[in-house]
Amino acid sequence: MPDLIHSHSQWGPADQIGAANLLTVEKRLAALGSIRSGRVYDVSYDVYMGAPFMAPNQTPFLMSIFGSWRDTIKRRRKLGATNDAGTNLERIEMTAHVGTHIDALGHFSKGDMLYNGTPAADVVTDWGLDRLGIEHAPPMITRGILFDVAGMTGGAHMLPGQAVTPDHLKRAADSGGFSVEPGDIALIRTGWGRYFGTDNARYLEGEPGLDVPAAKWLIDQGITAIGADNMAVEVLPNPTKGVLMPVHQYSLAECGVYLIENLALEELAADRVYTACFILLATKIRGATGAPVRPVAIV
């Protein structure tokens, strides 16, 4: 059995938003105030049939037309309509973790415990989370800081099983000319994103990503969320035998820090944009363990 996680977060026993508490209005105004050119970088990939997913816990994204202009016009004519208004509308089957998405704090447990000493048995229902669902994540408008680890290590991308370490992060911050501040959102570029949707088999086989010390280094400095251009933020497989997804456990369940996955960071890196106003507005799917999103970085 794992150690129990600390029973209460620093934000009190009722807290459900974790490190989003660090998103102060001052932080928001500073980020917005940093905008100069108004250029918007879209840092998300599409959600679509064919997007990578991690079996067996994730299911494929399916989408198909439920109402077409042809049939809706026919039906409406029968009801007496004369203006031939045709509706196109689809049905979607998906998980909340498809494409570029954010993880809710309730997405991962350490043993039987979720974030803030919350017993999973009390809040995980058949129909989702009674607490710690993504609807609690506030709009995130803050500074984004890009750790271009891939760019720094010279190659096009790091390799599966290769950990992004605290040292990597320190050097990337130096190279980017910034230090981590509370309420920042860290964007980690491993270069692995180039295989999203272009070679899913490879993308899913393993990935470069954070190890626990790197996550801890970021979190100790007050980061609100950690995003990366890979499927799980963290290095896969984990170098420590028998340890599976420890960065998810540590960030979400122990520290209340959000994870953002499958980010598209190539354009930011190419333009050497290391700090920007980062905006992520997670659709409030009540009780969901995450949400597909379309974050942007504005400079």
Site residues (CB under 8 A) for its own copies, limited to 71-130: 71-73, 76, 79-97, 99, 106-112, 114, 120, 124-129
CA 80 to chain centre: 48
Phi, psi of 144 (to 5 degrees): -100, 140
- In the window 48-67, what residues touch its own copies (CB under 8 A)? 48-49, 56-60, 62-67
Query: How many residues sit in the footprint of its own copies (CB under 8 A)?
Result: 102
Identify which of 280, 281, 277, 279 has the alpha carbon closest to the alpha carbon of residue 298. Answer: 277
Nearer to its own copies, 67 or 170 (CB): 67
Q: Name the minimum Å distance from CB 268 to its own copies.
A: 15
Q: State yes or no: residue 192 binds its own copies (CB under 8 A).
A: no
42 beta partners: 296
Q: State yes or no: residue 200 binds its own copies (CB under 8 A).
A: no
Q: Name the minimum Å distance from CB 155 to its own copies.
A: 28
Contacts of residue 206, Cβ cutoff 8 Å, sequence gap at least 6: 160, 161, 236, 237
Stretch of 134-142, 152-160, 200-208, 223-231 contacting its own copies, by CB under 8 A: 134-142
Collapse the DSSP code of 192 into the 3-class scheme (helix H, G, I; strand E, B; otherwise coil) and give the result.
helix
Q: How many angstroms separate the CA atoms of 229 and 206, rounded? A: 13
Q: Name the minimum Å distance from CB 205 to its own copies.
A: 16
Q: Name the minimum Å distance from CB 67 to its own copies.
A: 4
Count the alpha carbons within 13 Å of 30 in the hemisphere toward its beta carbon.
13
In single-letter form, the type of residue at position 161 comes to G
Q: State yes or no: residue 44 binds its own copies (CB under 8 A).
A: yes
- In the window 3-32, what residues touch its own copies (CB under 8 A)? 25-26, 28-29, 32
Please select the residue that binds its own copies; options are 152, 159, 294, 299, rule is CB under 8 A: 294
- In the window 215-274, what residues touch its own copies (CB under 8 A)? 241-246, 248-249
Collapse the DSSP code of 247 into the 3-class scheme (helix H, G, I; strand E, B; otherwise coil) and give the result.
helix
Nearer to its own copies, 153 or 224 (CB): 224
Nearer to its own copies, 93 or 174 (CB): 93
Identify which of 195, 255, 280, 285 has the alpha carbon closest to the alpha carbon of residue 231. Answer: 195
Nearer to its own copies, 20 or 150 (CB): 20
Nearer to its own copies, 81 or 156 (CB): 81
Q: Name the minimum Å distance from CB 6 to its own copies.
A: 16
Structure tokens at 211: 């190890």
Q: Name the minimum Å distance from CB 42 to its own copies.
A: 7
Collapse the DSSP code of 259 into the 3-class scheme (helix H, G, I; strand E, B; otherwise coil) and give the result.
strand
Q: Name the minimum Å distance from CB 121 to its own copies.
A: 8
Structure tokens at 169: 């992060």
Phi, psi of 123 (to 5 degrees): -120, -15
Element (H, E) at 140: strand 140-148
Q: Name the minimum Å distance from CB 133 to its own copies.
A: 9
What is the side-by-side order of every strand in the sheet holding 40-42?
A: 40-42, 296-298, 275-280, 140-148, 185-189, 225-228, 258-261, 101-103, 290-292
Q: State yes or no: residue 69 binds its own copies (CB under 8 A).
A: yes
Cα angle 209-214-219, degrees, rounded to a multiple of 5: 120
Please select the residue that binds its own copies; options are 12, 37, 78, 201, rule is CB under 8 A: 37
